[in-house]
Structure 1
């Protein structure tokens, strides 16, 4: 029974991500989540105390789903720590995030909603800060060229590139996106 409850909670949060991406924060209702998840009306309200709780869970789940799998991490660690590898890793990150279109769009909705909800703002601020710190720590441990500032600059540049890809995909082709990632690494990351 506990496993089923956990699976249903995850399915409801994943449904909330889809609703956020499609309908925005204003469209996120318990009924919309129930419909998206294909569960009886009232199910989401049994799992989440209020809409804020659902928003917070959706924000946390997006980050869970964006994490690379163990095979990807192992492959990255086995690579030569140079700028070419760095560019390849960044192309993979941009590609992975862009592939989870609804998750990133939901995250953008959550960021906008966080401007009006202090608890959500605190959660996202903590999560993003932890993510940046983890990226800097991983970078420093990996032996890749560049410093913490380069990691932060690439984070900022690639976040907007991802927004561009997801909201206006005709602006840059996938090949142009990859060229921009490589150029950003070459210009920002010093050997």
Structure 2
């Protein structure tokens, strides 16, 4: 297998774009090569098979959707209250909207995981670990609410993100900030 990390990243980014645009059924080595603008056969030099391509792409999606440490540090200068949680949720929507393909690819991966037990196991572990890390982070940072608050907020925001990225006209972009505010106000305790 080829070892050029920059090329591997470019191929994973191309796979994300293909997944977002064409779904898991359209994710082929050839489609990835075309999207990446590389010679035919390049992706197959980096990924042994389609399952490996899916698994490595899933991991790369999570890296792309990780918050920017500088923005997070700036947000965390604020008091540990509901307003900070609201700001963090607005940042989440900003990041997801900025990398729409990344999140749509993750949705495609979730759908594909219903048909592939190994991918399902990987995604389940990754998502569960991320949720647990978010819960620990919330608690460690002294943000209001406990474990249940984070889980309910996660579920509400996941639904909002799904609606926003797939059928944005249902809720309308103009009302999105107010909806985020309402979600946090209803779920996160005031103090």
Please confirm whether the aligned pair reaches a TM-score higher than 0.5, indicating the same fold: yes
Number of the residue aligned with 2:72: 73
Aligned length: 189
Which residue in 1 is equivalent to 2:149?
A: 150
Q: How does 1:28-177 map to 2 (within 5 A)?
A: 28-177=27-176
Q: Which runs of 5+ in 1 are unaligned?
A: none
Moved over 6 A (4+): none
Over aligned residue pairs, what C-alpha RMSD do you find?
Answer: 1.3
Residue 61 of structure 2 contacts residue 102 of structure 2 at CA under 8 Å; is this kept in 1?
Answer: yes
In structure 2, C-alpha distance between the alignment counterparts of 1:96 and 1:70, rounded to whole Å: 12
Report what 1:22 is aligned to.
21
Provide, for residues 28-49 of structure 1, a one-character-per-residue CA deviation record: whole Å limited to 9, x for no partner: 0000000000000000011101
In the TM superposition, residue 175 of structure 1 has moved relative to its aligned partner by 3.4
Per the TM alignment, residue 70 of structure 1 is displaced from its structure 2 partner at its CA by: 1.6
| SS of residue matched to 1:164 | helix
1:170 counterpart SS class: helix
What is the CA–CA distance in structure 1 between the aligned matches of 2:91 and 2:177, rounded to whole Å? Answer: 9
> Any idea what the Cα deviations from partners look like across 1:101-151, whole Å, max 9, x if unmatched?
111111111001101111111110011011101111110011111111111
Return the alpha-carbon distance in structure 2 between the equivalents of residues 25 and 103 of structure 1.
Answer: 13
How high is the TM-score relative to the length of structure 2? 0.95
Aligned mates of 2:114, 2:57 — CA distance in 1: 16
5+ residue gaps, structure 2, are none
